[in-house]
Amino acid sequence: MIEAKKLTKKFGTTAALDEISFSIGSGSVFGLVGSNGAGKSTFLRTLAGIYKPGGGEVLLDGAAPFENSEVKSQIFFISDFPYFLPQASLKEMAAFYSRLYPSWSQKRFEELCGMFPIDSKSKIVNMSKGMQRQAAIICAIATQPRCLLMDEVFDGLDPVMRQLLKRIVSGEVAQREMTVVIASHNLRELEDFCDHVGLFHKGGVVFERDLDELKLGISKVQAVFKPMPELSAFAPLEIIKTEMHGSLINLVIRGTKDEILEKINGLNPVFAEVLPLTLEEVFISEMEVAGYDLENILN
């Protein structure tokens, strides 16, 4: 299990992580989402043992990763722009990692080389961005880590490769209870991949929740009222966002579908429908509450 306890990391006077506390269970696929500069990559690097926490701690099964080779041998970090040894091929990178990671599986490496359309003997530096990502993923999975950290890994992968990645990772999670923490702005990709989501903003955690629970706990309602009731009539509902166009009202409301529908029907609409939100819509709505929305930015 990954635990962050009042974790703080500052760069100069800027707090990239500001006393964040949450936990990630073993065997879960945790999606890290958030605004630009929210602290997602900083969190991943701190968990990977690259950054030393400025305050608090981050633990993997009770042990801090910084300067702890035993813990780090169970973690593999794929950065947003992976680095490879100069002029190395995938085979050479495999040889490099195999000597350092005790759980390296050469068999798994060869299986993965067969799945991805990549030449293991060509120099990685000459490959496209997407193929370099594939090379990083192959090395990562072949080390058989207990915890896989990925930063913007979907960027540069074509849709087929994305699906392949998701399937491979999901398989590893199912077979070995590997824990995955993935940071991405591509919420559509995360939606059908993650089972938990954490939303970061300005160094803090806005929320951290089971994805299904998150999506069930917030809904979009489209209703037509004739006449439109006063806004105070909607007070019993926990409204996040309101849009009115004549007699049509669109509401984003926290609560279960049944609870929301009961209260809306109590106001006698002509028509009312509850729709689930996509993760992107949830993100935008929650960010609006935090003051990070388009209107605020433009004003």
Partner 1 sequence: MTSKTSSTRRMKEFRETYLWSLKKNRGMMALLALLMFIALPMILMTVMANTQNRITTEIYTPEMWTQTYMSGIMTLTAALVTPLSLIFVLVISVSLFGYMHQKRSVDTFHALPVGRTPMILGRLLAGLTTLYAPVLLNFMIVFFVGASYPVLLQNCWTAVLSYLLWLMLICLATLCLSAFMAVCTGMTTDMILSLLGVNAAYPLLIFLGDRFASSLLPGLNTGLNSNSLFLTALSPFSAAFMPYILSGSQYQGGSSPVSTGFYVWWTVFTLILLAGTVILYQKRKSECAESSFAFSLPKNAIRFMITAVVGLGFGLLLQSETENLSNFFIGLIAGSLAAHIVTEAIYSRGFKQLKKSFVGYGFFAAVFLAAYAVLATGFFGYDTRIPSADSVTSITVNDAYTSSGGRINNKSQHELAEILPTLTEKSNIDKVMELHKTITQEKRSHSYPYCLNSANGSPLTITYHLKNGGTMKRTYYFEYQTDDQGNFFSPLGDVAKSKEYRETSNLLFYVEPEYIKSIDVGSKTSESSVTFAPDINTKKELLDALKQDILDGKVGDGKTAADSFTYLMIEYKAPLQLKDGKLKTLLNGYDGDIYLYANNYYYAEGSGKTSELMEKLGWTK
Binding site residues, partner 1, CB under 8 A: 11, 45, 48-52, 67, 69-70, 72-73, 75-77, 79, 81-86, 96, 99-101
Location of structure tokens 């120099």: 123
Kindly state the smallest distance separating residue 265's Cβ from partner 1, in Å: 54
Nearer to partner 1, 48 or 113 (CB): 48
Nearer to partner 1, 34 or 82 (CB): 82
Nearer to partner 1, 67 or 230 (CB): 67
Task: Give the chain's end-to-end CA distance (angstroms, integer).
Answer: 42
Kindly state the smallest distance separating residue 68's Cβ from partner 1, in Å: 8
Given a contact cutoff of 8 angstroms between Cβ atoms, the answer to whether 39 and 16 are in contact is yes
Kindly state the smallest distance separating residue 183's Cβ from partner 1, in Å: 13
Kindly state the smallest distance separating residue 11's Cβ from partner 1, in Å: 6
Q: Which of 41, 114, 113 is nearest to 78 (CA)?
A: 41
Nearer to partner 1, 101 or 154 (CB): 101
Kindly state the smallest distance separating residue 223's Cβ from partner 1, in Å: 50
Kindly state the smallest distance separating residue 104's Cβ from partner 1, in Å: 11
Nearer to partner 1, 50 or 239 (CB): 50
Nearer to partner 1, 30 or 101 (CB): 101
Planar angle of CA 132, 134, 138, nearest 5 degrees? 120
